[in-house]
C-alpha cells in the first residue's frame, strides 16, 4: 500500500476497488514510483507497467513535461513566459505559443464563468498580502492601490491573434492554474501505462492499478492532513483541493488565507476546504479556487447549477467536519 500525505489529499493505491483482474497484465505488474520537488511542492508519480524499465521511462517522460511546464509558467523564474508577460511594457501585444494560447482561452473563460471569484490577474494583491512570503496585512491605501492594478480585465487577450496586451501594470499569479495545466499536459502526452500524479493538493490519473477500478484517493480533514475522512476512486481526470489552513499565514495575530477574493481584494473568510473533480486538471485547479472564494453556501448552489463534482468540507465549532457534496461528486466516493 502506498500512502502519501498531500495538502488535503492522500493517495492509497493497491487497495481493492472491486473490479476483475485485467487479462492484458502480467501476474505481477510492476509498480514504479518517482518523487521530485517541483511547482513548490513534493510531487509523487506512480505507474504500473509491463516492465520496470518501461514504467520508469514513462515516469521520466511525465516528469520532463511537468518540469518544462514549470519553466514556462513559474513566476519564481525570471525567464518564464509568464514572468516575461508580467514585465511586458504597457500597450505592447505579447505573443503566446499555441499551447499557452489554448490555456489562456480557458483561463479567461473561467474568470467570466466564475463571476471573477477566480481571477489570476491579481499579482498585485497577492504581493500586497505577501501570500507567497510570510504574510502581511496591507494598509488601506496599499490595498486600494493593489486593487486598481488587479484583474485580467487589465490584460487584453486577443484569442484570434493569440496575444495578451497589458493595459495597466497588472500581473498574473499562476498559483491557481499552473499545476492543473501541467497535469493536463502529461495527460495529453498519451502515456500508455496507468499512471497517477500527486502534486500536493491536486491529483490526476489515468487508468488504475491492475484489476482495480481506479486509484484510491483519501480526502483528509481540512485542518489535519493526517486525518482521513473518506476515500474516492479516481480513474481519469483530476481532483483538486483548495483550502488547507496549514498553508495559511498569520500577520498581526490574524489568519491570512492564501485565497484572495478578487472582488474586494481581501482573503476569503472560509476556513474549510473544497474538492473538485473535473476531466480537465486545469479546470479542476481553477474551479477549486473559485469555489473556495465563493464559500459553501453560494458555491454549492453554483456547483449544482453547473452539474460539477464538488465537495465542501466544513469544520463545525465542535470540531466535527460537515461534508456536503453534489450528486456528481458522490458517484466518485469509494464504496
Ligand atoms: P493550492 O495552492 O493550495 O493548490 P489553489 O489551487 O486554490 O491552492 O491556489 C491558491 C493560489 O492561487 C494562491 O496561493 C495564489 O497564488 C493564487 N490565488 C489566490 N486567490 C486567487 C483567486 N481568487 N484567483 C486566482 N488565483 C488566486
Ligand atoms: Mg490548486
> What's the pLDDT score for residue 13?
40
Q: How far apart are CA 268 and CA 266, in angstroms?
A: 6
**pLDDT band for position 247 (50/70/90)?**
low
Give the whole-angstrom CA distance, residue 2 versus residue 12.
5
Q: Which residue would you say has higher pLDDT here, 319 or 113?
A: 113
Q: Which residues form the domain of 249? A: 2-52+191-330
Please, what's the b/e burial string for 61-85 (b: 16 or more CB within 10 A of its CB; e: otherwise)? ebbebbeebbebbbbeeeebbbbeb
For 143-182, how does the pLDDT look when each residue is reduced to its tens digit (9 = 90+)? 999 999 999 999 999 999 999 999 999 999 999 999 999 9
How buried is 231 (Cβ within 10 angstroms: 0-12 exposed, 13-18 middle, 19+ buried)? buried
Q: Which atom of ligand 1 is nearest to the CA of 242?
A: 7
Question: Measured from the CA of 290, which atom of ligand 1 is nearest?
Answer: 23
Q: Probe ligand 1: pick from 7, 8, 173, max atoms within 8 Å of CB?
A: 173
Quick check: helix, strand or coil at residue 111? helix
Which of 123, 132, 155, 175 to probe ligand 1 with, by most ligand atoms within 8 A of CB? 175
Is the predicted pLDDT of residue 135 greater than 60, yes or no? yes
Q: Mean pLDDT across the stretch 247-254?
A: 61
In a domain, 320, yes or no: yes
Query: At 33, which CATH number?
Result: 3.10.520.10
In a domain, 286, yes or no: yes
Residue 316 CB burial class (10 angstroms; 0-12, 13-18, ≥19): exposed
Residues with CB under 5 A from ligand 2 (ion): 240, 285
Residue-level pLDDT at 299: 98
Task: Identify whether 7 is part of a domain.
Answer: yes
Mean pLDDT of the chain: 90
61 CA distance to ligand 1 middle (Å): 27
pLDDT at position 315 over 50: yes
Q: Ligand 1 — pocket residues by CB below 6 A?
A: 7, 118-120, 122, 126, 131, 173, 175-176, 201, 242, 244, 247, 258-260, 262, 285, 288-289, 292-293
Residue 255 domain-assigned?
Answer: yes
Residues 286-308: pLDDT tens digits? 999 999 999 999 999 999 999 99
* Position in ligand 1 atom list of the atom nearest CA 292: 7
Assess whether pLDDT exceeds 90 at residue 4.
Answer: no
Q: Which atom of ligand 1 is nearest to the CA of 200?
A: 4
- Binning pLDDT at 50, 70 and 90, where does residue 16 land? very low
| pLDDT value for 226 | 87
Average pLDDT score over residue span 187-200: 93
CA of 174 to the centre of ligand 2 (A): 10
Residue 251 belongs to what H/E stretch? Answer: strand 249-251
pLDDT band for position 8 (cuts 50, 70, 90): very low
Confidence of residue 17 (pLDDT cuts 50, 70, 90): very low
Mutate to test the pocket of ligand 1, among 123, 259, 286 (most ligand atoms within 8 A of CB): 259
Ligand 1 atom closest to 132 (CA): 14
Least confident of 25-39, 124-138, 237-251: 237-251
Residue 228: inside a domain: yes
pLDDT confidence of 280, banded at 50, 70, 90? very high
pLDDT digits (tens, 9 = 90+) for 52-69: 999 999 999 999 999 999
* pLDDT of residue 5 exceeding 70: no
pLDDT of 281 above 50: yes
User: Is residue 165 in some structural domain?
Assistant: no
Percent of the chain having pLDDT more than 70?
88
| Band of pLDDT at residue 257, cut at 50, 70 and 90 | confident
Tens of pLDDT along 88-119? Answer: 999 999 999 999 999 999 999 999 999 999 99
Q: Please give the tally of structural domains in the chain.
A: 1
Using the predicted structure, report yes or no on whether residue 252 has a pLDDT greater than 50: yes
Ligand 2: centre distance to CA 44 (Å) = 16
Is residue 183 in a domain?
Answer: no
Q: Which protein residue's CA is at the shortest distance from atom 5 of ligand 1?
A: 176
Asked, for residue 75, whether it belongs to a domain, the answer is no
* pLDDT the model gives residue 85: 98
Amino acid at each position: 500500500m502506498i500512502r502519501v500525505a498531500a495538502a488535503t489529499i492522500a493517495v492509497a493505491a493497491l487497495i481493492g476497488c472491486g473490479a476483475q483482474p485485467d487479462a492484458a497484465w502480467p501476474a505481477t505488474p510492476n509498480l514504479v514510483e518517482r518523487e521530485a520537488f517541483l511547482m513548490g511542492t513534493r510531487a509523487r508519480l506512480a505507474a504500473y507497467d509491463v516492465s520496470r524499465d518501461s514504467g520508469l521511462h514513462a515516469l521520466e517522460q511525465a516528469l520532463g513535461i511537468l518540469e518544462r511546464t514549470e519553466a514556462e509558467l513559474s513566476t519564481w523564474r525570471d525567464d518564464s513566459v509568464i514572468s516575461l508577460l508580467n514585465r511586458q511594457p504597457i500597450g505592447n501585444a505579447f505573443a503566446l505559443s499555441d499551447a499557452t494560447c489554448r490555456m489562456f482561452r480557458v483561463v479567461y473563460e473561467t474568470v467570466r464563468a466564475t463571476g471573477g471569484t477566480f481571477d489570476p490577474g491579481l499579482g498585485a494583491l497577492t504581493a500586497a498580502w505577501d501570500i507567497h512570503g510570510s504574510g502581511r496585512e496591507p494598509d488601506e491605501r496599499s490595498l486600494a492601490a493593489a486593487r486598481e492594478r488587479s484583474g485580467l480585465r487589465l490584460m487584453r487577450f486577443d484569442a484570434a491573434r493569440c496575444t495578451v496586451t497589458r493595459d495597466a501594470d497588472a500581473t498574473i499569479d499562476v498559483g491557481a492554474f499552473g499545476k492543473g495545466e501541467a497535469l493536463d499536459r502529461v495527460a495529453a502526452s498519451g502515456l500508455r501505462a496507468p499512471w497517477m500524479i500527486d502534486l500536493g493538493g491536486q491529483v490526476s490519473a489515468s487508468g488504475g492499478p491492475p484489476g482495480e477500478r481506479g486509484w484510491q484517493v483519501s480526502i483528509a480533514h481540512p485542518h489535519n492532513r493526517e486525518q482521513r475522512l473518506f476515500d474516492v476512486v479516481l480513474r481519469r481526470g483530476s481532483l483538486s483541493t483548495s483550502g488547507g489552513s496549514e498553508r495559511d499565514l498569520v500577520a498581526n495575530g490574524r489568519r491570512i488565507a492564501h485565497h484572495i477574493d478578487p472582488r474586494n481584494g481581501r482573503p476569503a473568510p472560509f476556513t474549510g476546504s473544497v474538492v473538485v473533480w473535473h476531466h480537465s486538471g486545469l479546470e479542476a485547479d481553477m474551479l477549486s479556487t473559485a469555489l473556495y472564494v465563493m464559500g459553501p453556501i453560494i458555491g454549492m448552489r453554483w456547483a449544482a447549477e453547473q452539474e460539477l463534482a464538488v465537495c465542501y468540507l466544513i469544520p463545525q465549532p465542535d470540531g466535527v467536519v460537515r461534508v456536503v457534496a453534489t450528486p456528481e461528486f458522490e458517484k466518485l466516493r469509494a464504496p
